[in-house]
Amino acid sequence: MLFNFRPMLAVTMLAGLIPLAVMGAPLSQVDGDIVRRDDLKAGDKFHVGETEHTLGARLGTTGSTGLVHSVEGHPNVVAKVFHKDGGVTPLDRNKEIANLKTVEEYHGHTETEGGHHVVLATKKPGTHITDTNAWKNAGTAAEKKAVLAKAQQLTDERNTHHANTHNLVHTDTHHGNVLFHETDAGLHSAHFVDWGNAKPAEKDSKGALKQSTKDLIAKGGKKVIRGVSRR
């Protein structure tokens, strides 16, 4: 008797992959993004010092380390809720907090009774490059190329500003971590979120950026448009 092993093989391969997806807390599918069931959600309350805050709507897509929410009553502040089971160490969180303080975007942090870590930061203006009108209105390949070139330029300029002003280079400038502000004339400026992977800028004895730092900045500018250019 002959057997068709293909369905059985497919089931076996899927079964072998399942443990990779369920290590730690169970996962659930919400709004097209994988989020952990024990993450805080809109409407949940937490305290920073003596002040009670309420999480507002979730902003953007799910990050690898946490979710970002608005904060009710504080339009200029966002709350980053680190995944409770996401493997982020206290050292990682402290580094992000220290970097946010350095770029003057820190507004406090707390650990909730449920064990969640929440960091408050300045809300940055703008949207992801693929959500800008400049990108949506770019019909031809040449127009899209021009938008990406502008995005790369603005990312380099913002990173150079932080390197000169705050002695930090944002090294995780994929397009999910860069928000573009635009005017009727097109893309106007870039702003960074998620400062956990920033690195110190290197300067010479005269205070000028060293080539190693310039190379990091140039790499970041290329990173922001990687993948987007194929859409």
Q: For each of the chain's 231 residues, which pLDDT tens digit applies?
A: 443 434 433 333 333 333 333 333 344 444 455 566 677 889 999 999 899 999 999 987 777 788 899 999 999 999 999 988 777 889 999 999 999 999 999 999 999 888 889 999 999 989 999 999 999 999 999 999 999 999 999 999 999 999 999 999 999 999 889 999 999 899 999 999 999 999 999 999 999 999 999 999 999 999 999 978 665
Position of tokens 């409770």? 84
Specify the 3-state DSSP secondary structure of 69: strand
To 5 degrees, how large is the angle CA 160–CA 106–CA 56?
115
CATH of domain 28-122: 3.30.200.20
**Nearest to 129, CA basis, from 143, 142, 148:** 148
pLDDT at 36: 66
Rounded Cα distance, 178 and 85, in Å: 26
DSSP 113-173: TTS-EEEEEEPPP-B-GGGSHHHHT--SHHHHHHHHHHHHHHHHHHHHHHHHHHSEE----
Closest CA to 86 of 105, 65, 116, 69: 65
pLDDT for 65 equals 82
119 within 8 A of 211, measured Cβ to Cβ: no
Q: Where are the domains of the chain?
A: 28-122, 129-230
**Residue 164 tokens, joined:** 């000169």
Q: Are strands 33-36 and 178-183 parallel, antiparallel or unpaired?
A: unpaired
Cα–Cα distance measured from residue 51 to residue 53, given in angstroms and rounded to the nearest whole number = 6
**Architecture (CATH level 2) of domain 129-230:** Orthogonal Bundle (1.10)
Could you give the CA distance from residue 33 to residue 228 in angstroms, rounded to a whole number?
19
